[in-house]
Structure 1
């Protein structure tokens, strides 16, 4: 019995130690200096996390001026995250996120932030709809002080309008890790999958009804 108690105590000790180290590393991500992604071939990039990346990818790809939206991971401290590692709710790390490649001459970063808030339940903490967990938390990433001011201004205005706390966290952008191939364009490629039919497409349609003025002609 004593041996069992000692073994459990050792396991608990190392678990607590790893947890503390993880929190420290995660705080360093939040406190870091933002990295600005340069415009290439006239295209800029922006990064958002808001529940399941299948849903978020489809929302942004419906917007005029957005060339592509890529599913992946951001906001954490480990290298080479995967869907499996990110889904481990015991580790406070990366969130499912998207990289939005857009033409700033057609759509502004400010409008993309509006799209972000219009396409979610802004008060839901650690998730969207049925997707709940730290990996599904809402984050808006800024690359410079101008973007940070835009985000904070819109977040404050929304909080006042709803008279509620807005769940989205504001992080300095550090790195985006592209997700596995099978996640890319998932909604488009799997329109009859049950989650897509019951969660993703309804979420996209709710967004379209709120901001029809920003939609591409074929949407």
Structure 2
């Protein structure tokens, strides 16, 4: 191997090794609360939205940075198995995608803005993968609850495809919402609870920082400078 190819070789090693599964293995000795998290009740005037865009550790953090979002919960949606576990979803056999359920005030952040944020929060042009994470559990999905929400999603995707923001077309699935199952307690707030995690620093943090720059005017004041 010549010296000029060495940097590319080590980048390849990094990309292959720094996956969600590798992070799980690295933290296998950590004491974890594997009981399902409890879903919050929507507050008066709040609405609920559900999206999937790769590793939910990152997507949850991105949504919680937004003004008008009270809480984002990591979980599973889009599959057939009731109350799946993280391990079951990870087999790529349950049909579920790692998802985030967002509790928000539509008077502060309208649904179409939330959809725009979702499309910025991940790469919606890669089929069944986000970065180094591969499998249908990492696919891009926008779950709609009403015809108006579906129309907003379709409009946003059409705009992105026409704008040339991405070289490839958006492959986000647009499907009716059926059920959301909260992930285990230890997954909730994972990004902030594990600031020294190699995966968080190498994969998630660059995405979050890019998201913050794209939507700087939509961030909560206390998070904009973090």
TM-score (norm 1): 0.80
Q: Distance in 1 between matches of 2:120 and 2:179?
A: 25
Runs (5+) with no aligned partner, structure 2: 1-40
Q: Which stretch of the first structure deviates more once superposed, 158-167 or 42-51?
A: 158-167
Q: Is 2:192 the partner of 1:188?
A: yes
Partner of 1:21: none
Runs (5+) with no aligned partner, structure 1: 1-37
Q: Is 2:44 the partner of 1:41?
A: yes
Cα offsets for 1:143-180 (capped at 9, x unmatched): 00000000001111111222632111001001100000
How many residues were matched structurally?
Answer: 181
What are the equivalent positions in structure 2 for 1:93-104 lying under 5 Å apart? 93-104=95-106
Q: Does the aligned pair in 2 maintain the 1:138–1:167 contact within 8 Å? A: yes
Equivalent of 1:105 in 88, 104, 107: 107
Q: Distance in 2 between matches of 1:63 and 1:88?
A: 32
Note the C-alpha offset of 1:128. 1.1
Cα offsets for 1:24-44 (capped at 9, x unmatched): xxxxxxxxxxxxxx9642211
Q: Is 2:126 the partner of 1:117?
A: no
Note the C-alpha offset of 1:83. 0.6
Note the C-alpha offset of 1:92. 5.2
Q: Is 2:58 the partner of 1:55?
A: yes
Partner of 2:163: 161
Superposition CA RMSD, Å: 1.3
Q: Does the aligned pair in 2 maintain the 1:92–1:134 contact within 8 Å? A: no
SS in 1 for 2:103: strand
Q: Is 2:206 the partner of 1:205?
A: no
Q: Does the aligned pair in 1 maintain the 2:42–2:103 contact within 8 Å? A: no
In structure 2, the CA distance between the partners of 1:217 and 1:40, relative to structure 1 (3 Å rule), is closer
Q: Distance in 1 between matches of 2:212 and 2:42?
A: 28
Partner of 1:72: 75
Q: Distance in 2 between matches of 1:56 and 1:217?
A: 19
TM-score (norm 2): 0.77
Q: Distance in 1 between matches of 2:94 and 2:87?
A: 14
SS in 1 for 2:154: helix
Which runs of at least 4 in structure 1 moved beyond 6 Å after TM superposition? none
